């Protein structure tokens, strides 16, 4: 991105909070219609994917086009971003969980972040980590996608052409996923259509495509310009409205079809795309300088919650969340459960992991990459080999 937008980091906090409400709904339940609307908070994952597609595109699209970065440096940066915190939380959970430690095959799946592909391992290790399989897949495919999009992003190219190209790619990924599903591969590898659509890049590329679309055709403008201010606010609040509408539609699908979750009902995937589109508009509004977005999502507290949101999301593993919830109820003394106390406890735990592990390890890995790059530049022969 050309400049840092605190509200986009704050949007991560909102997405993580929505996922938390969903998980607490699974633990505590409720008969209130309004509460059950927010129990559809699993669409927070859609928001994460849209935001990832947007940020990765704003950061790396031009860099790849201009050959300012190689795939090795790009991939190492993504590895440094997601793997250290994942490994710390995973090892801590496995050390505390009385269940036997994983065997070699399961370790291989967990350490390569491929659990989302396998029905047999999808929720093993950390139950939230299936989404990292989708993220990792996008990271691998992004340079190829950007190369494909190059001709339709030249100056003057119509947004409709870009949108149609991204739609074609989304349909193409889904079709490939259906072929894989029909292949009957071992390990329950994408063995049913629902698994493919929910837990793999083949079904989830649409969310990233929406982020790419807004990144390439929703240019940021300076805040405070009168002719742009209204557009930014409409995009921000309209996007929030679409996210809320998506949750209402998903709840109605859940109730009418008696599905476990609305997204599993017929039409549920399409309903979740409403939230993804809403996230795109929220991102666009924030990037264009929405004052409301800056106040609601860009204030220091929410921005910090966004910074720790990745660890907070990982800690929403079923085993961890249930035990933190029970511990909070015990400490209160009345045995009553409160999602607020559980949220605060997980937030404090996430802040500790972020400050003591994620942030320093991330900096350490990036510093090591910089040292390696300087050594390559100092050795012409080695530099040539690494191009």
Q: Could you report the per-residue pLDDT of 50-68, keeping only the tens digit for each?
A: 999 999 999 999 999 999 9
Q: Could you report the per-residue pLDDT of 224-258, keeping only the tens digit for each?
A: 555 578 999 999 999 999 999 999 999 999 999 99
User: Which has the closest alpha carbon to 338: 327, 352, 354?
Assistant: 327
d(CA 69, CA 239): 33
Residue that the structure tokens 């590895």 belong to = 79
Lowest mean pLDDT among 156-165, 189-198, 212-221, 299-308: 212-221
Lowest mean pLDDT among 152-156, 235-239, 279-283: 152-156
User: Which has the closest alpha carbon to 236: 301, 160, 276, 294?
Assistant: 294
Per domain, the residue ranges of the chain are 6-385
User: Which has the closest alpha carbon to 149: 219, 209, 70, 237?
Assistant: 209
- pLDDT class of 372 with cuts at 50, 70, 90: confident
For residue 321, how far is the Cα from the chain centroid?
19
Distances (CA, A) of 318 to 20, 56, 81: 11, 29, 23
Beta carbons of 242 and 213 less than 8 angstroms apart: no
Q: Could you report the per-residue pLDDT of 94-120, keeping only the tens digit for each?
A: 999 988 999 999 999 999 999 999 988
Lowest mean pLDDT among 224-238, 261-275, 331-345: 331-345
More confident residue, 223 or 94: 94
d(CA 97, CA 13): 27
CA angle 210–215–216, rounded 5-degree value: 100
pTM of the predicted model as reported, rounded to 2 decimal places: 0.92
d(CA 251, CA 254): 5
Phi-psi category of residue 266: left, alpha or beta, with phi > 0 → left and psi -120 to 50 → alpha: beta
pLDDT for res 380:
58
Beta carbons of 324 and 92 less than 8 angstroms apart: no
User: Which has the closest alpha carbon to 10: 216, 208, 285, 302?
Assistant: 302
Residue 208, pLDDT > 60, answer yes
Question: Which residues, at least 6 apart from 372, have a Cβ–Cβ distance to it below 8 Å?
Answer: none
Report the residue count for the chain: 387
Residue 189 β-bridge partners? 118
At residue 260, φ and ψ (nearest 5 deg) are: -65, -45
């Amino acid at each position: 991105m050309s400049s840092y937008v605190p509200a986009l980091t704050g949007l991560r906090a909102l997405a993580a909070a929505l996922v938390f409400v969903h998980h607490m709904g699974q633990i505590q339940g409720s008969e209130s219609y309004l509460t059950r609307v927010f129990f559809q908070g699993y669409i927070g994952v859609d928001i994460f994917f849209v935001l990832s597609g947007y940020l990765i595109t704003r950061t790396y699209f031009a860099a790849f086009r201009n050959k300012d970065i190689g795939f090795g440096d790009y991939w190492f940066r993504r590895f440094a971003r997601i793997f250290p915190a994942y490994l710390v939380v995973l090892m801590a959970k496995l050390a505390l969980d009385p269940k036997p430690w994983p065997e070699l095959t399961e370790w291989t799946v967990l350490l390569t972040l491929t659990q989302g592909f396998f029905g047999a391992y999808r929720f093993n290790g950390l139950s939230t980590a299936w989404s990292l399989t989708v993220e990792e897949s996008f990271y691998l495919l992004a340079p190829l996608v950007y190369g494909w999009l190059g001709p339709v992003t030249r100056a003057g190219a119509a947004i409709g052409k870009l949108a149609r190209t991204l739609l074609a790619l989304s349909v193409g990924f889904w079709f490939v996923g259906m072929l894989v599903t029909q292949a009957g591969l071992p390990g329950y590898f994408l063995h049913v259509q629902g698994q493919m659509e929910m837990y793999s890049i083949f079904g989830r590329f649409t969310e990233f495509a929406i982020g790419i679309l807004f990144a390439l055709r929703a240019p940021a403008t300076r805040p405070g310009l009168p002719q742009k201010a209204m557009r930014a606010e409409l995009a921000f609040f309209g996007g929030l409205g679409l996210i809320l509408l998506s949750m209402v539609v998903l709840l109605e699908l859940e109730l009418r079809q008696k599905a476990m979750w609305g997204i599993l009902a017929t039409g549920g995937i399409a309903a979740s795309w409403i939230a993804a589109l809403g996230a795109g508009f929220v991102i666009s509004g924030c990037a264009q300088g929405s004052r409301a977005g800056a106040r609601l999502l860009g204030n220091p507290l929410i921005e910090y919650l966004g910074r720790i949101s990745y660890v907070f999301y990982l800690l929403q593993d079923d085993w961890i969340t249930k035990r933190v919830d029970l511990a909070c109820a015990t400490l209160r003394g009345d045995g009553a459960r409160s999602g607020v106390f559980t949220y605060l406890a997980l937030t404090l735990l996430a802040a500790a992991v972020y400050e003591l592990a994620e942030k320093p390890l991330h900096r350490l890995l990036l510093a090591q990459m910089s040292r390696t790059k300087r050594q390559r530049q100092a050795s012409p022969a080695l530099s040539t080999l690494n191009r």
